[in-house]
C-alpha cells in the first residue's frame, strides 16, 4: 500500500470527526410518512408514475426516469400516496414530490374481489443475481439504472450515466472515493467498516460494468481502521489497490483525488475525469450498486451523519429516503436547544437550511447543527487583501478578485477570471480572516451566468 498521496493547495481544517467516527450505524425504523422529491439527482427530474389514493409497495417505482441523465424514484415505504405536490427540498428550492403515508390495512376490496395482501411484498428488480461475474455489462448497467443509484458523495450524478462513456472516450481506471474529507461527516467511514463486503462486491461490479482491469480505493489517513479493513478485504481482488491519502481538504474532490492517486490533471471545465481515462465512484455508491445487482434492491435508504454542537447525541443512522429531518433528529435523541444554523452536508460545501421541514434525499450525507457561538464565528467582514485565498485554491483561481467583480455586478469580469471553474469547495472562505462568504458569491455568479446563457 502506497501512502500519503496528495494534491497542490488545499487546507487543514479540524476534522471534528471524533464525535461520530466510532459510532456504529443505527437503523431507524421506517417512518409513518415520507416525502419523496422527484428531483434527487443531477439531470432531468423523474416523472410521477402514481396517483393520489394509489397503494404502493416498498420499492415500487413512483417516479420514472425523466431522460438519459436522470434516475427513477422508488417508494421507500409501503402505503398510500396522499399527495403529489411541491414541497421544500433540502437543496433550497421547491420540488414536485410524492408523499406516501403508511397504512395498517389494505383498502376494503370491491365486491367479489379478494382482499389485497397487506403490506404488499417489497418490490425487487428482475434479473438481479449474486453471480454478477456471469452477467453481461449491459445488464449490470441497466440494473444500476433501474435501481435509481446515484453518486452518494453529494453531487447525486446518476451512476448509470458515468458507466456509459460516450464513443471515443476510453476508461481504463476506476477510482473509489473513500476520502470523506468534509469535517464532521463519517457515514462513508462507517460504510467501509460495516458494509465492507458490499463495497468490495460493488467495486468488482463497477469494474465489470466499465470493463476496466484496475481500481484504486483512496482513503484519507485519518481513518486507519478503514484503510486496514479495506486493504485486507481487497487483498485477493486482482487489480485493486488501497491507497492512503494525506488528510487535506478537499482531498475528496474528484480532480484532487485523481491527481493524488495518479498524478493526472483533469482539464478545466468542461473537462471531466473521463478525459484522463478515469471514472470516480463513492464507497457508499459501490455498496448500493451491490444491493441493486446482487439482491435487486432499489435505492430507498442511505446512511447519514448527524453532528455539531447542538446535536444531543451525534449519530450515524440509516434512514429511508423521504424521512423528514425532524423525525430523524428526534429518533437520535433531539437537540440541546434551538440551532443557530443548520447545514445539510459538511461545513465546507454544505447548504444552510432555513428550517428542518425537509426530507432526506439520495445526495444527503449528513446534517450539522450549530449553536450561537459557532455561528457568530462566521460573521463576515471586508477583504483585507491578505492573499490567503489565492494561495490555497486547489484550482489556482483568484477568489478575492472574483468576489470583487461579483459584488460590483460585473459578471463578465468574474467570468474572465474563470468563476465557472470554481468547484465550490469552500477552502477560500475557510482561510479568509474576514470570514468572507466567497463561495456564496461564486454560486450566485454561476447561477446568473447560467440564466444569461439560457
For the CB of residue 292, give the shortest distance to ligand SF4 in the complex, in Å: 33
CA separation for the pair 179, 220 (Å, rounded) = 5
Task: State the chain's maximal CA–CA distance in angstroms.
Answer: 80
For the CB of residue 448, give the shortest distance to ligand SF4 in the complex, in Å: 16
Q: Tell me the helices (H) and strands (E) count for the chain, helix number first.
A: 14, 17
7-37 b/e (C-beta count within 10 Å ≥ 16 → b): bebbbebebbbebbbebebeebebbebbbbb
For the CB of residue 399, give the shortest distance to ligand SF4 in the complex, in Å: 4
**What binding mask, one character per residue, do residues 343-382 give for ligand SF4 by CB under 6 A, x or -?**
----------------------------------------
Site for ligand SF4 in 384-443 (CB under 6 A): 384-389, 393, 395, 397, 399-400, 422-428, 431-434, 436, 438-439, 442
Residue 117 C-alpha cell reads as: 395482501
Q: How many residues bind ligand SF4 (CB under 6 A)?
A: 27
Question: Which of 328, 432 has the CB closer to ligand SF4?
Answer: 432
Contact assessment for residue 41 and residue 18, using Cβ atoms and an 8 Å cutoff: no
For the CB of residue 373, give the shortest distance to ligand SF4 in the complex, in Å: 22
Which among 423, 419, 424, 422 is positioned nearest to 445, based on CA atoms? 419
Residue of 125, 143, 383, 414 interacting with ligand SF4 (CB under 6 A): 383
CA separation for the pair 78, 60 (Å, rounded) = 9
Question: Which of 352, 434 has the CB closer to ligand SF4?
Answer: 434
337 lies in the site for ligand SF4, by CB under 6 A? no
Question: Which of 208, 420 has the CB closer to ligand SF4?
Answer: 420
Residue 317 C-alpha cell reads as: 443512522
For the CB of residue 349, give the shortest distance to ligand SF4 in the complex, in Å: 8
Burial class (CB in 10 A: 0-12, 13-18, 19+), 167: exposed
Question: Which of 366, 426 has the CB closer to ligand SF4?
Answer: 426
Residue 68 C-alpha cell reads as: 438519459
Site residues for ligand SF4 per CB under 6 A: 383-389, 393, 395, 397, 399-400, 422-428, 431-434, 436, 438-439, 442
Amino acid at each position: 500500500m502506497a501512502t500519503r498521496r496528495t494534491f497542490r493547495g488545499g487546507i487543514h481544517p479540524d476534522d471534528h470527526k471524533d464525535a461520530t467516527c466510532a459510532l456504529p450505524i443505527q437503523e431507524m425504523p421506517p417512518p409513518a410518512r415520507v416525502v419523496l422529491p422527484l428531483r434527487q439527482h443531477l439531470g432531468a427530474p423523474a416523472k410521477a408514475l402514481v396517483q393520489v389514493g394509489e397503494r404502493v409497495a416498498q420499492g415500487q417505482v413512483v417516479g420514472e426516469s425523466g431522460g438519459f441523465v436522470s434516475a427513477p424514484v422508488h417508494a421507500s415505504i409501503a402505503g398510500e400516496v396522499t399527495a403529489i405536490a411541491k414541497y421544500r427540498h433540502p437543496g433550497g428550492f421547491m420540488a414536485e414530490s410524492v408523499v406516501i403515508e403508511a397504512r395498517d390495512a389494505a383498502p376494503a376490496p370491491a365486491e367479489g374481489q379478494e382482499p389485497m395482501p397487506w403490506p404488499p411484498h417489497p418490490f425487487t428488480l428482475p434479473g438481479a443475481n449474486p453471480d454478477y461475474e456471469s452477467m453481461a455489462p449491459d445488464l449490470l448497467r441497466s440494473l444500476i439504472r433501474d435501481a435509481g443509484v446515484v453518486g452518494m458523495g453529494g453531487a447525486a450524478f446518476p451512476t448509470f450515466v458515468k458507466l456509459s462513456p460516450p464513443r471515443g472516450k476510453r476508461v481504463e481506471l476506476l477510482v473509489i472515493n473513500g476520502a470523506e474529507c468534509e469535517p464532521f461527516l463519517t457515514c462513508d467511514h462507517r460504510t467501509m467498516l460495516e458494509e465492507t463486503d458490499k463495497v468490495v462486491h460493488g467495486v468488482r461490479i463497477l469494474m465489470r460494468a466499465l470493463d476496466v482491469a484496475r481500481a484504486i480505493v483512496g482513503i484519507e489517513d485519518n481513518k486507519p481502521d478503514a484503510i486496514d479493513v479495506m486493504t485486507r478485504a481487497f487483498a485477493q481482488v486482482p487489480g485493486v489497490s488501497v491507497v492512503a491519502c494525506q488528510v487535506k481538504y478537499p482531498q475528496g474532490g474528484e480532480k484532487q483525488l485523481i491527481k493524488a492517486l495518479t498524478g493526472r490533471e483533469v482539464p478545466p471545465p468542461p473537462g471531466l475525469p473521463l478525459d484522463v481515462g478515469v471514472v470516480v465512484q463513492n464507497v457508499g455508491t459501490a455498496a448500493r450498486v451491490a444491493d441493486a445487482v446482487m439482491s435487486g434492491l432499489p435505492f430507498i435508504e442511505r446512511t447519514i451523519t448527524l453532528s455539531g454542537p447542538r446535536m444531543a447525541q451525534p449519530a450515524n443512522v440509516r434512514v429511508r429516503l423521504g424521512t423528514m429531518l425532524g423525525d430523524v433528529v428526534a429518533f437520535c435523541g433531539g437537540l440541546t436547544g434551538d440551532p443557530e444554523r443548520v447545514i445539510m452536508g459538511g461545513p465546507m460545501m454544505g447548504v444552510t437550511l432555513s428550517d428542518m421541514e425537509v426530507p432526506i434525499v439520495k445526495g444527503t450525507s449528513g446534517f450539522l447543527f450549530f449553536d450561537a457561538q459557532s455561528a457568530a464565528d462566521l460573521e463576515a467582514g471586508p477583504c483585507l487583501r491578505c492573499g490567503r485565498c489565492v494561495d490555497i485554491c486547489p484550482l489556482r483561481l483568484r477568489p478575492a478578485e472574483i468576489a470583487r467583480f461579483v459584488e460590483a455586478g460585473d459578471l463578465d469580469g468574474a467570468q474572465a477570471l474563470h468563476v465557472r471553474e470554481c468547484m465550490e469547495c469552500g477552502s477560500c472562505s475557510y482561510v479568509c480572516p474576514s470570514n468572507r462568504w466567497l463561495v456564496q458569491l461564486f454560486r450566485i455568479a454561476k447561477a446568473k451566468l447560467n440564466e444569461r446563457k439560457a
